Each structure stands twice: as C-alpha cells, then as structure tokens.
Amino acid sequence: MAAPGAEKREAAAAAPAEPAKETKKASSAPKSAGARKSKDKWKAKEWYQVHAPRMFNEAVIGETPSADPSYIIGRQAEVTVQDLTGDFSKMHIKLRFKIVETDGHEAKTEFIGHDLTSDYVRRLTRRKKTKTDHVVDVVTSDRFILRIKTMSIADRRIQTSQEEAMRGALKDYLMDYASQNKLADVVKAIISGDLAKDSAKACHAIIPIKRIEIRKSEVLRKGEGEPESIIEAAPAEEEPQEEAPAEESAEKTE
C-alpha cells in the first residue's frame, strides 16, 4: 500500500518546470516602464527666462526648467555684477535674487542680498593682517530691514577695547546712513564701494583701518514698494538726419 500523499508527490515531480527566461522578462518589464515615465516627465517641462528686478533693469540672468510655473517660485539665482554691467572690476561681487512671480514664460525676481567671492576674501586676508567681522541690522528709509556684514582689515593686531569701539562706530554710521537712504541707494553704495570707504573713515578716529569691505548683505524683511533702478540705461542712438538736396541748399544761400 502506498504511503499517504505519494501520488501527489509523484504528480508534482512529473510536472514540467516553468522556464527561467519568462521570469527574467517579467522582472525587466517594470524597469522599462519606469524609464519611459522619467523621459515623459522631462519632456513635459518648459523653460522660463529669469529676469532681474527693476533695480537692475529687469535684465535676463538665466533660465530654469519646470513642469509647472508654481514650482519655480522661491528658486534662487546668482549672478555677478560684471555679468549685469560689463564692469570687469566688479566680478568679485555676487548678487542673489529669488523668484517671486511668473508671467507666461518669464520669471520675475527680487533682490535678497549679495556676497563676495571666496577667492577675493582670501586675497585680502593674508599673513600679518588682522581680520575682524561685524554684523549690523539696519532699517532703510523705505522700511527694508537689511543685515550688513562688514570685514575690517588692519596691518597690526587690534585690542579688544579697540574692536568694541570700532563695532560701535560702524553700527552708528551704518544705521544713520541707511535711515536716510532707500534700499536701492544702499545697494548702489555697496556695489560702488563708497559705503565701505565711508565706513573706514568713520572708524579712523578709533584706529587706522587699512580697509573695510561689505562682505555680505541680506534682506531680512521687505519694505515699501519696489526699489528703483540703480543701473543707468544705455544711451539711445541718435537717428541720422537726412541731408538736404544740393539744389535746395544752393537756393537758401542765394
């Protein structure tokens, strides 16, 4: 008499095994579908031109892709002053913008701050020089709150009492300057270097400072309205005047 279940085991052993190739094909199918989906997502994206704010004449500063215009809100862009103005001496100043609005395929931005390139800062802070950092929060006349980070460089070591006095002098000067000027004027003074020079003069009575740089700025809170342009537009080309015919000019002289 056969043991119980022997017939079932014999039938299972006699049944042909499924080919391994079919299993491999089934496992590879989801990967190809996923690859097709990723390609379709990229094709669905459109390119948007990023424009600087009115403060920099709404110049085009780059492009960004997105499948939905709402996705690019909040993205940040960085460009040097040289790229905007063509001034080679300002290639170390980086301007930072944030996308706040889209209009068709154009993305509008607002100014959120500036920074100096790291290689420029390293060249300034060489051996036998003392670098001191300062942070001052100021309020402009159009109610923007701007954080200004300065960097002072001295040829000799600065005492603690001198450093504290210099911080106070810098704070008083920057707060007074900002309260009398709009954000656009403050940014223009930072880019031109005038604010750094005047800050060094304010500290000269305490200690002769070789150099002060506005290392970084950051807009902490928006104020009233949109800052005005600080870059002069290129002069329009004069239209050539048509010369009068020779016969007419001869008649006038007679």
Confidence of residue 250 (pLDDT cuts 50, 70, 90): very low
Residue 48 has pLDDT above 60, yes or no: yes
Residues 109 and 136 grouped into a single domain: no
Average pLDDT, the chain: 82
Instruction: Choose between 232 and 82: higher pLDDT.
Output: 82
**Number of neighbouring beta carbons within 10 Å of residue 228:** 13
Confidence of residue 16 (pLDDT cuts 50, 70, 90): low
CA distance 116 to 91: 9
Residues 182 and 161 grouped into a single domain: yes
Three-class secondary structure of residue 188 per DSSP: helix
User: Which pLDDT value is given to residue 43?
Assistant: 77
User: Which pLDDT value is given to residue 148?
Assistant: 97
Q: Domain range holding 141?
A: 128-224
Mean pLDDT to the nearest integer, 114-127: 88
Which residues, including other chains, have CB under 8 Å from residue 149's CB and lie 6 or more apart? 133, 134, 135, 136, 214, 215, 216, 217, 218
Residues 200 and 138 grouped into a single domain: yes
Residues 111 and 169 grouped into a single domain: no
Residue 70 has pLDDT above 50, yes or no: yes
Give how many domains the chain has, as a whole number.
2
Q: Is residue 17 part of a domain?
A: no
Q: Is residue 34 part of a domain?
A: no
Residue 186 has pLDDT above 60, yes or no: yes
Q: Is residue 37 part of a domain?
A: no
Q: Nearest 5°: CA angle at 206, between 203 and 209? A: 55
Mean pLDDT to the nearest integer, 143-154: 93
